[in-house]
Structure 1
Amino acid sequence: MENKQTAGYLVSDVHKKIKAAFEAFDYESNNTVDVREIGTIIYSLGCFPTQKDLHDFIAEVEEDHSGYIQLNRFLPAMAKVLLENRFPPIAEDLLLQAFEVLDKEKKGHLEPEELMRYMTQEGEPFTQEEMDEMLTALADPETNYIYYKDLISQLTIDPNI
């Protein structure tokens, strides 16, 4: 009996987190978000799908290619993703190594132009809008540098929690 109660609380907590993340982007308060916000919502929940995984997830929850996603379709699909730990975050040490590779001069930070170049020209390129959002969120407001060692804990989740 205790396991069912524990599982029930876990699902309830997961649903609350998902709903809160979704509602942050439900600008018209009608249980609907623009499909372009789904990646940000998923990332905010500590999940890091590939672009293909993200595209597949959107195809699963978007109705009739409308460009919008309803909470009642998103919530169960996202709960399943979270409970199965389907898109786990990258380990802190690997993320630090990746930043250190980009920081060729070992300055301890990246300049916005550097990060922009890497993120738009390598791998799965980010759009200008995604880069603007990222730089606004990550750059130090005083220096405009991205101090990656300070950010790693924000970009990863401690697996022991």
Structure 2
Amino acid sequence: MADKHNAETIITETQKRISSAFEVFDHESNKTVDVREIGTIIRSLGCFPSEADLHDIIAELEEEEPTGFVRYEKFLPTMTKILLERKFRPITEDLLLQAFEVLDQQKKGHLEPEELTRYLTQEGEPFTQEEMDEMLSAAVDPDKNVILYKDFVSMMTFDDTR
């Protein structure tokens, strides 16, 4: 019986988090949000899907005839399932640091902004110029004009204590 109560509590708390996040973007207070805000809402809940996964989620949430809005009653069960299944969890700090160390072939402890831009715009799921500009504004050490990736990794990892 305690397990069932515990599961219900977890579901209730999860749905409260989802409701709170959704309400921030429900500007008209009509239980809908702009479809363009879905990624931001999902990320605010500690999930980090790829762009392809995000498009799949949005396709699942949209109406038969897309309106540009997502209704809360469609968002809640989908997001509850995603959170309870712990999908799209953030990458760990250690793994992210290892990735930067692979890119830093000379083991300098830093990367040049041009190096990182080349890697992130030409490989895998490429960053847009706007995303690169935003990242570099946070990542580049203003005094040394390099990315001290150990500092940057600790700044950008998600504290998943929930």
State if a TM-score over 0.5 links the two structures: yes
Report the CA distance shift for 1:116/1:43 in structure 2 as closer, same or farther (over 3 A): farther
The number of residue pairs the alignment matches comes to 159
- Name the Cα RMSD after superposition: 3.0
Could you list the structure 1 runs, at least 4 aligned residues long, displaced by more than 6 angstroms after superposition.
none
- Which consecutive unaligned segments of at least 5 residues does structure 1 have? none
Report the CA distance shift for 1:104/1:78 in structure 2 as closer, same or farther (over 3 A): same
Query: Which residues of 2 match residues 5-84 of structure 1 at below 5 A?
Result: 5-63=5-63, 64-84=65-85
TM-score, length-scaled by structure 1 = 0.74
- Percent sequence identity is 62
Larger Rg: 2
Q: SS at the partner of 1:152?
A: helix
Q: Is the 8 A contact 1:120 1:127 kept in 2?
A: yes
Residue identity in the other structure for 1:6: N
> How far, CA to CA, are the matches of 2:5 and 2:83 in structure 1?
18
Q: SS at the partner of 1:149?
A: helix
Residue identity in the other structure for 1:83: L
Deviation, 1:16, is 2.2
Q: Is the 8 A contact 1:25 1:33 kept in 2?
A: yes
Q: Is the 8 A contact 2:92 2:157 kept in 1?
A: no
TM-score, length-scaled by structure 2 = 0.74
